[in-house]
Each structure stands twice: as C-alpha cells, then as structure tokens.
Amino acid sequence: SSSAGAFALERARRAGIPAAVLPRRRFAAQEEYDGALLALLEKNGIGLVVLAGFLTFIGPRVVERYRNRIINVHPSLIPSFCGPGFYGLHVHEAALRRGVKVTGATVHFVNEVCDGGPIILQKAVEVLPGDTPQTLQRRVMEQAEWKLLPRAVALFCQ
C-alpha cells in the first residue's frame, strides 16, 4: 500500500497474507520510488498488481515491466470524470455538478495515460435526488467497486 493506514493491510494481516507499505514521500525522485516498487514486487513474485485506493503515480518503468498486470478501480464510468485530479470525492463532486443521472465504476488495466488503459469491467450506479458526494461515493463503492474488483481479479487469474 502507499498508506500505512489502509484497511487492506489489516485485512491482509488477518488472512495471513504478506503486505508492505511503500509511501512515495520517502523517495526524492519518481525513478527512486519506481525502483523500490519494482524490487518489492519482484522480490515477492507478484504477478498481478491491484490499485484500489492507491493514489500514488506509477511510473513508466513499472507500467512497462508489469504491462497488462496492473489493474485499477476508478469510481466513474470511464471516459467520464477521469484523468489527473479525478480521484476520491473529486470524482463524485464533478458528477453531481454535471448533473449526470448515472455514474458507476470501472476496472481497467493501467498504462502510461492516467485512467487511460484498456477497460476490463464497468458497472453503472444510479445518481439519486439529494445525493451528496459522500453518499454517492459510498453507493458506488458498495454497488460497483466492491463487486467489480473481485470479478476482474478472477478474470485475470483464469
């Protein structure tokens, strides 16, 4: 994880799954971070990288080495509300400002373009009257993200 407070680390600990924290701020340059990340992934024989709540930029060296083996879950129906600056509540704020009636989530492969990799799965979620960014975020997570991500991992592993 990029964050020591990520709940995924606790889940991994409970399940007996090794986990590591690699905060970007510990490295002066992107190239140093990418080198440390690659070393960590290769040391542990990682075949699939899942970015879920991982808000750290992945450099081109990592993307190239793990081409079509890094997946990301994004809280919108790409190509809407994606790219630089569109993460977390910012996505849902933008969707509500735009007045969309449907939003959702996308799982995609990561490439050199932010949120621009090939789409694996998408699921739509209705925007309800009175939604706030927080209520919409929660519903998108529960109805789409949490359902899509395990399916995408299963598809990859087949």
| Active site positions, annotated | 74
CA distance 139 to 115: 21
Give the single-character DSSP code of 118.
P
Q: Within the chain, what is the greatest distance between any pair of CA atoms? A: 49
Q: Kindly tell me the burial class for residue 72, based on how many C-beta atoms sit within 10 Å of its own C-beta (0-12, 13-18, 19 or more).
A: buried
